[in-house]
Structures are given as C-alpha cells and as structure tokens.
Structure 1
Amino acid sequence: MPIARQSRIWPSGGVHLWPSGGASAAHTHPRGHLVYAASGVLAVHTERGTSIVPANRVAWIPAGSTHHHRAHGDTDMRIVFLPAGLARRMPERPTVFATSDLAREVLLALTGGRHRDRAARARLHRVLADELREAREQPLHLPEPRDDRLRAVARILDADPADNASLAALGQAAGAGARTLSRLFRAELGMTFYEWRTQLRIAHALVLLAEGHDTTRVAHACGWSNPSHFIAAFAAIVGTTPGRHRAGG
C-alpha cells in the first residue's frame, strides 16, 4: 500500500515521506542543505541538470539554488540544513556525493526525530561536513543540454532509453551530423555520446528498480539485451549491483 504524503520540518532539517511520483514545485532556500533518500530514489533537478539520488548518494543544494525533486518508489526524504560556516566549505554548485556508512548514520541521526541540543547537533554537522569533504562526487549526473540539437537527441532517448540508434541516425532526426553532435556532447556536456547514453540508461534503471521491476525487465527496458552486461554497467556507476540496490545494501 502506498505511503501517505507526510512532512515534518524543523529549523535544522526535516523529513518528507512521499508516495512514488510525488514531486515538489521549483523553489529555493536561503540556506544550503543536504538531501538524502533513506529509502526510495529521488530525482533532483537543478539548473545544472538532473541527478538520480539513491540511498548510497546524498545531494548538496547551495543556498539560493533553484531546484525541485521527484520521488520514484515510496521515498523517505531527509533534509539537513548546514550552518553557514560549514556550508562555505561545500561546493558552490549543486553536487551529489557518494555516501559513506558514517555519513548515512549521521544523516539519519540528525533527522530521526530525537531531540538533540545545539552542541550535539553542531558536533554531528561537523562530522558530516568532514565526511563529505572526503567523499567523491558521484558520476550519475545528466547535464541539461542547451543546444537545440542535443535537446532533440535527449528527448528521443529519454522517451525510449532502449533505442539503440546510432548517433548518425539520431542526428537525422535532430538536424545535425554525427561529427557535430559528437563535438557538442564533449564540449557542452563534458562526455561522449556513449557515456551520456549509459548515464541516462542507468538513471532510468534506478527509477524502474524503485518501482519494483525485476533486473531482467529493467535491463531490456534500458537497452541491454544481456542482463549480465547491465549488471556490470550498473555496478560500475552506482557502486552496487541492481539486486543489492533493491535490497537496500
């Protein structure tokens, strides 16, 4: 049975329980904050593009950055606002980090509902900021294309991530040659077309897994005819296998 939408907010953070498909309107906060999905999967949309944030990732949203979220699968979303002094040590742009076991436990402790005095919260905030300073940025990020030709390619593959059309074939629909599109992917999005398409497919896979689909079905829906190849690509990007991800491991 789907969870009911619920929210609990306090000055230092909050918890949002969202049913699958729940979304927020675009908004900003005057303070930088961390967004974490204790269960489910979040899509975090910012001016830089879209990041898919499963339970082994945490998103950083700087103060004043316009963003909105969408839940895939019933999602337990946690928010932690960082004090200004610690926020200044974080990136100036929206960023998604890999989450260590310690960072996860601190995020849960800060948002678990137990009353903590100011000194205890300050200690936990410092531990969390230190952990994230040492964390690597996660690679699962889909930059927002600006060029109309790249946008056309993105629309085609977002609608059907299993589409195995070549870049030349996609270029015919987008009004550009393969060489031009290849150059645009590198110059504008910082990756090759094939790297970008793999990122897009894994993003879709995370959403489908959160909605309860099995690994074989997700592999085929996202363009892999061989599920073992999908599992290898998923593990290389997400850091765990699809089965362990679904199990919360």
Structure 2
Amino acid sequence: MSENRHRHAAGHVIERHRHDEHQLVYVHRGVLAVRTDHGTWVACADRAVWMPAGTWHEHRVYGDSEVLTLMFATGDAPLDGTAPAVIGVSALLRELLVATTEPGLGDADAARIHAVLRDRLRRAHGRPLTLPEARDPRLAHACRLVTDDLSRPRTTAWLAQRTSTSERTLSRLFRLEFGTTYPQWRTTTRVFHAMIHLAEGATVTQTAHRCGWATPSAFVETFTHVMGRTPGSYRTR
C-alpha cells in the first residue's frame, strides 16, 4: 500500500486517467468530484471514494482542498474491486487515513496503522452520494436543464415539454437509468452543488437560494438528513 497527500486550489482538474492499482480517495478539506463513464462520485469530509483498478476517471476540486490518496495492489484490496463506491468515514477511520500520510512515519508504525486501517475499511458502510450519468439523450437534456439553474424548481411537466417527451416517459427514464425518482435525483443534485458552494465560502442562506430551497430552514433540514450534519457544521469543517 502506498499513500500521498496533496493540496489543490479550487477548480483544479486532474484529467482523465486510470491506475493499475485500486485507489481510495479521501478529502480532508474541501470537496472532490470523481467522474467516470457511469457517473460522478463525491468525496468529502465524511465520505471516501473507492476507485477500482483500470477504471477511467477524472478529478475536479471544489474549494481549496487537501486530498489523501491510498493505493492498494489488485491482489490485496480491503474493498470490492469491481465497481466504484462511496464509503462512510468515521472519526477513527479519518484519523487513520490522516496518520498514514504523515511525513517521516517509520516502517513499524506504518505497518501497525495499515493493519488497523484495513480492518476499518472492511467494516466501513456504503454511504453513496453519486450522480449517475444519463445515457438517453432526452434524460441527459432534462438533467442539464435542471443543473443549469438549480435556483428554479423545475417540474416533470416543464422538463417533458422542453425535451419533447411525455411526463410518463421521463419518469420512467429516471427510474430505469438512475434507479430513483426525479424528486430524489434532484435532491441529491442540489445537495451535491450545495456542498460545492459551502466549500467555496458561500453562506448557508446564499447556498439555500442558489440551490433552490424556498427557505434556509428547509435547506438545513434536507442537507442534514442526507449528509448527517448541518450545512453550518459542514461549512465550518
């Protein structure tokens, strides 16, 4: 296992690439979106992204970020090596991830930390925060219409009219390709963009308005339900 710690400025992009080893990406500060051919996977303070060997992907940084990456040989992986995943990062796992990247760590200390880290990774639970990539052009168009201006609540009827399809067909495409309903997908999308705004320094009130919540309190309630922490505490962290 090898590990690295990098600091990236807001907006930094690591172009499309792949690794011969499995990669675990954790963001100690900021937000990182890992995009594959199948969707976007989000790493943040309490979630890490597992990227199997051979998977083409790119990284995009939001806010000044500190990114920790751990590489695992294909024959020695603590997690499933067949598909990308997002796992929850507990307080203990977070400290272990940080400890592995400390400069000057001796071999004996590193071996002990690695052993505990592997055990905690095997016990980690999935906490998906993923934006799947639409394949049907009608669905892709609808998604772009929503994300281009999240401050405006777009109904299925409005989207269907502008994508030259029916509400029934559009709802079916969301379920078929994303395994979710349109309102559920929009909530995840708004939370993801809210994380970006908060990481870049926006206030809770500004973020609520930019991402389409009627009131800051409604935003706080939804964000807390999805992320397990208030947007204020997330922003502070």
Structure 1: which 4+ aligned runs deviate by more than 4 Å?
none
Q: Distance in 2 between matches of 1:148 and 1:59?
A: 27
Question: Is 1:13 aligned to 2:9, yes or no?
Answer: no
Residue 148 of structure 2 corresponds to residue 159 of structure 1: yes
**Residue 232 of structure 2 is aligned to residue 243 of structure 1:** yes
Structure 2 unpaired stretches of 5+: none
Q: What CA distance in whole angstroms lies between the structure 2 residues aligned with 1:159 and 1:125?
A: 43
* Structure 1: distance between partners of 2:49 and 2:31: 12
Distance (whole Å) between structure 2 residues aligned to residue 183 and residue 231 of structure 1: 30
2:12 is matched with which residue? 22
CA distance in 1, matches of 2:52, 2:100: 19
Q: Larger deviation: 187-196 or 91-100?
A: 91-100
1:41–1:210: 8 Å Cα contact kept in structure 2?
Answer: yes
Find the aligned partners of 1:100 and 1:35 in 2 and give their Cα distance: 15
Mapped to 2, the partners of 1:116 and 1:191 lie a distance apart of 47
* Paired residues for 1:142-153 under 5 Å: 142-153=131-142
Secondary structure in structure 1 of the residue aligned to 2:69 = strand
Contact 1:53 1:59 in 2 (8 A): yes
Q: For residue 199 of structure 2, what is the aligned residue in structure 1?
A: 210
Question: Quick one: which of 121, 140, 144 aligns to 2:129?
Answer: 140
What percentage of residue pairs aligned between the two structures are identical? Answer: 42
CA distance in 2, matches of 1:149, 1:123: 52
The letter for the 2-side match of 1:98 is G
Instruction: Find the residue that maps to 1:68 and give its secondary structure.
Output: strand
C-alpha displacement of 1:229:
1.0
Deviations 1:135-182 (A, max 9, x none): 222232111111111100111111111221210111111121111111
Aligned equivalent of 2:169: 180
Residues 100 and 131, structure 1, Cα contact 8 Å, conserved in 2: no
Q: Could you say which residue in structure 2 is the equivalent of 1:90?
A: 80
Match of 1:169 among 158, 168, 178: 158
Corresponding residue of 1:6: none
Please say if residues 20 and 74 of structure 1, whose CA atoms lie closer than 8 Å, have aligned partners that are also in contact: yes
Would you say 1:192 and 2:207 are equivalent positions? no
Does residue 221 (structure 1) correspond to residue 221 (structure 2)? The answer is: no
Q: Tell me how far apart the structure 2 counterparts of residues 92 and 32 of structure 1 sit (CA, whole Å).
A: 10
| SS of residue paired to 2:225 | helix
Aligned match of 1:105 in 95, 98, 102? 95
Q: Does the residue aligned with 1:58 lie in a helix, a strand or coil?
A: strand
SS of 1:84's equivalent in the other structure is coil
Take 1:125 and 1:61, find their aligned partners in 2: how far apart are those partners?
Answer: 19
Partner residue, 2:37 = 47
Partner amino acid for 1:171? A
Number of the residue aligned with 2:57: 67
Gapped runs of 5+ residues in structure 1?
Answer: 1-10
Distance 2:125 2:163 in 1: 35
Q: Taking structure 1 as reference, are residues 226 and 245 closer, same or farther at Cα in structure 2, changes over 3 Å only?
A: same
For residues 89 and 81 of structure 1, the distance between their equivalents in structure 2, rounded to whole angstroms, comes to 12
Is this contact kept in 2: 1:38–1:75, CA < 8 A? yes
Q: Is the 8 A contact 1:86 1:126 kept in 2?
A: no
- Secondary structure in structure 2 of the residue aligned to 1:13: strand
- The TM-score with structure 1 as length reference comes to 0.90
